């Protein structure tokens, strides 16, 4: 029976981040991934002739942990993403496109034009109403985060006099577009937490879309680096439960075998982590808050078209529709097809049980509301669903997020649902892996 220093359950960003940190310190590490490919929610693959991804992802310019991890694998993030200095908002309530500048250093004139323009849809009064809202929110985020997490961002915006157009075109757009959750069910603490790193790294702010499938341009390099460090990966390996001996985790049980280790890192998405904990012989009271933390679904519809759906490859939000966010990727990520659009559907919990053809029809109907004419141009499509892979960002849930260190000897947690300041993002997943590796090294060196 093989024995390792560390077994990591889950081959996403949290798992590979933790694995690289440990392997480069000469620990014998095994990553177990239940899928036929690594990458987790940042994977891309060929689905019967159509290239698909887990969902449309964007890199934020002020990220530092993800770029640092990629640099270890010899990848410069600037070589694998196309940076955007603006984003668009299309709403059925307004005929005009509302454009926001998002890169103060790299696109200052775009930012200024956006602040001074968009007046037909976004009046000066609406813009000015955001200033006291941001000031109050970021201040409350530092002073009383628990109180802020008890209210929705919609409630907070109304309390602070935000104009209805600013709520619709900015707050609703961001909530649905980033975490596919409407503002009335979106924690004010999480909303300002996403924005909190921006002031200190304001000059770094911009949005990056991947120049190819995420597995090809990003994750495969991380896997190659991990294996070069001596790490081992087993795909198609679903962990059923943790092996325990006198309340200490000693390894994992697969379908047909057991694998032992001095330490185990549970780095799966939240739904799978809960399932493994529930099936293991450990005291569940130790994981009370984690097991109580609700999961959230995600749904994306990815379309190949006879021509581009939009003039620009740019992040686009569509508040007032089920099209939470989307982008035209035929000039960036999927250059081999004439047109390609990946759409995040929201609120996701409303549509998770829809059949694929019903979701396609929904996309047709909702796209017409914002003048996005794709009917009759679709040559192929795929639907990708994540029933329980995210944690709910509704009010009151942040307190339930567990830290990486557990009270159970031999077990550490990793994943963007664990406690760290970057929430449910790629940056959060990477940083959680770093924190988990530090705890493992500390436990093994005691």
In a domain, residue 79? The reply is no
pLDDT at position 383 over 80: yes
In a domain, residue 310? The reply is yes
Question: Percent of the chain at pLDDT above 70?
Answer: 94
Q: What is the C-alpha separation between 376 and 383, in angstroms, rounded? A: 18
Say what the pLDDT of residue 94 is: 87
Say what the pLDDT of residue 312 is: 87
Say what the pLDDT of residue 201 is: 64
Q: How confident is the model at residue 17 (pLDDT cuts 50, 70, 90)?
A: very high
Whether residues 117 and 243 fall in one domain:
no
Whether residues 227 and 164 fall in one domain:
no
Q: Which of 157, 180, 203 is the last residue of a domain?
A: 203
Whether residues 124 and 249 fall in one domain:
no
Q: Which of 366, 391, 416 is the last residue of a domain?
A: 391
In a domain, residue 311? The reply is yes
Whether residues 252 and 310 fall in one domain:
no
| 80-89, 120-129, 390-399: the lowest-pLDDT one | 120-129
In a domain, residue 86? The reply is no
Q: Which helix (H) or strand (E) covers residue 58, if one does? A: strand 58-60
Say what the pLDDT of residue 119 is: 64
* Between residues 1 and 402, the one the model is more confident about: 402
Say what the pLDDT of residue 117 is: 66
Look at strands 3-9 and 81-84 and give their pairing: unpaired
Whether residues 109 and 190 fall in one domain:
yes
Q: How confident is the model at residue 203 (pLDDT cuts 50, 70, 90)?
A: low
Query: Domain containing 234 — which CATH number?
Result: 3.50.50.60
In a domain, residue 199? The reply is yes
Domain of residue 271: give its range: 3-50+213-293+395-444
SS3 call for 325: strand
Nearest to 180 by CA among 348, 327, 385: 348
Say what the pLDDT of residue 113 is: 64
- Given CA atoms 31, 34, 37, 40 in this order, what sign does their dihedral have? negative
Whether residues 113 and 193 fall in one domain:
yes
Average pLDDT over residues 276-301: 96
In a domain, residue 380? The reply is yes
Whether residues 227 and 369 fall in one domain:
no
3-state helix, strand, coil in the chain (%, to 5): 40, 25, 35
pLDDT at position 269 over 90: yes
Say what the pLDDT of residue 313 is: 87
Tokens of 323: 């099209």
pTM of the predicted protein model: 0.94
In a domain, residue 78? The reply is no
pLDDT at position 107 over 60: no
Say what the pLDDT of residue 301 is: 97
pLDDT at position 217 over 80: yes
pLDDT at position 207 over 70: yes
- Domain total for the chain? 3
pLDDT at position 255 over 90: no
Contact present, 65 and 291 (Cβ < 8 Å): no
What are the pLDDT digits (tens) for 321-365? Answer: 999 999 999 999 999 999 999 999 999 999 999 999 999 999 999
Provide CB contacts within 8 A for 181, sequence distance 6+.
Answer: 175, 296, 346, 347, 348, 392, 393, 394
Whether residues 419 and 289 fall in one domain:
yes
Nearest to 27 by CA among 327, 436, 363, 383: 436
What are the pLDDT digits (tens) for 74-92? Answer: 999 999 999 988 899 999 9
Whether residues 268 and 280 fall in one domain:
yes
| 107-121, 206-220, 333-347, 362-376: the lowest-pLDDT one | 107-121
What are the pLDDT digits (tens) for 127-172? Answer: 899 999 999 999 999 999 999 999 999 999 999 999 999 999 999 9
Q: Is 40 exposed, middle or buried (0-12, 13-18, 19+ CB in 10 A)?
A: buried
Q: In this structure, what DSSP letter does residue 163 have?
A: -
φ and ψ at residue 82, rounded to 5 degrees: -105, 115
Q: In this structure, what DSSP letter does residue 402 have?
A: P
Whether residues 289 and 303 fall in one domain:
no
Q: How confident is the model at residue 419 (pLDDT cuts 50, 70, 90)?
A: very high
Look at strands 378-391 and 411-413 and give their pairing: unpaired
Q: How confident is the model at residue 57 (pLDDT cuts 50, 70, 90)?
A: confident
Look at strands 81-84 and 58-60 and give their pairing: unpaired
Q: What is the C-alpha separation between 112 and 108, in angstroms, rounded? A: 6
What are the pLDDT digits (tens) for 160-176? Answer: 999 999 999 999 999 99
In a domain, residue 59? The reply is no
Whether residues 257 and 332 fall in one domain:
no
Whether residues 404 and 268 fall in one domain:
yes
How far is C-alpha 215 from the geometric centre of its chain's CA atoms? 15
Q: Which of 153, 173, 203 is the last residue of a domain?
A: 203
């Amino acid at each position: 029976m093989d024995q390792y220093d560390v077994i990591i359950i889950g081959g996403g960003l949290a798992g590979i981040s933790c694995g690289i940190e440990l392997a480069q310190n000469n620990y014998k590490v095994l990553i177990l991934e239940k899928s036929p490919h690594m990458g987790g929610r940042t994977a891309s693959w060929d689905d019967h002739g159509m290239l698909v991804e887990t969902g449309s992802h964007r890199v934020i310019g002020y990220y530092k942990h993800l770029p640092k991890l990629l640099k270890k694998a010899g990848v410069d993030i600037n070589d694998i993403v196309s940076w955007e200095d603006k984003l668009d908002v299309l709403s059925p309530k307004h005929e005009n496109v509302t454009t926001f500048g998002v890169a103060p250093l790299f696109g200052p004139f775009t930012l200024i034009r956006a602040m001074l323009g968009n007046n037909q849809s976004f009046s000066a009064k609406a813009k000015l109403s955001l200033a006291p809202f941001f000031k109050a929110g970021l201040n409350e985020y530092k002073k009383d985060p628990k109180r802020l997490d008890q209210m929705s961002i919609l409630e907070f915006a109304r309390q602070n006099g935000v104009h209805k157009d600013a709520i619709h075109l900015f707050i609703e757009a961001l909530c649905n577009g980033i975490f596919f959750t409407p503002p009335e069910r979106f924690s004010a603490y999480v909303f300002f937490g996403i924005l909190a790193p921006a002031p200190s790294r304001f000059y770094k702010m911009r949005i990056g879309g991947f120049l190819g499938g995420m597995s090809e341009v990003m994750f495969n390099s991380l896997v190659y680096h991990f294996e070069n460090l001596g790490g081992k990966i087993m795909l198609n390996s679903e962990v059923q439960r943790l092996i325990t001996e006198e309340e200490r985790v000693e390894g994992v049980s697969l379908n047909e075998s057991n694998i032992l280790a001095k330490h185990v890192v549970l780095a799966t998405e939240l739904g799978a982590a809960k399932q493994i904990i529930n099936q293991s012989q450990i005291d569940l009271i130790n994981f009370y808050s984690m097991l109580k933390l609700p999961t959230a679904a995600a749904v994306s519809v990815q379309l190949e078209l006879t021509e581009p759906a939009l003039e620009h490859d740019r992040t686009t939000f569509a508040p007032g529709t089920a099209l939470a966010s989307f982008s035209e990727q035929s000039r960036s990520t999927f250059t081999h097809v004439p047109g390609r659009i990946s759409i995040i559907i929201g609120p996701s919990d409303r549509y998770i049980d829809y059949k694929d053809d019903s979701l396609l029809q929904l996309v047709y109907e909702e796209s017409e509301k914002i003048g996005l004419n794709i009917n009759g141009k679709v040559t192929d499509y795929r639907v990708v669903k994540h029933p329980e892979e995210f944690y709910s960002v509704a009010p009151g849930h942040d307190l339930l997020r567990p830290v990486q260190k557990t009270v159970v000897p031999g077990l550490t947690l990793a994943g963007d649902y664990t406690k760290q300041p970057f929430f449910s993002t790629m940056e959060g997943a990477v940083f959680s892996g770093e924190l988990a590796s530090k705890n493992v090294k500390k436990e093994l060196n005691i």
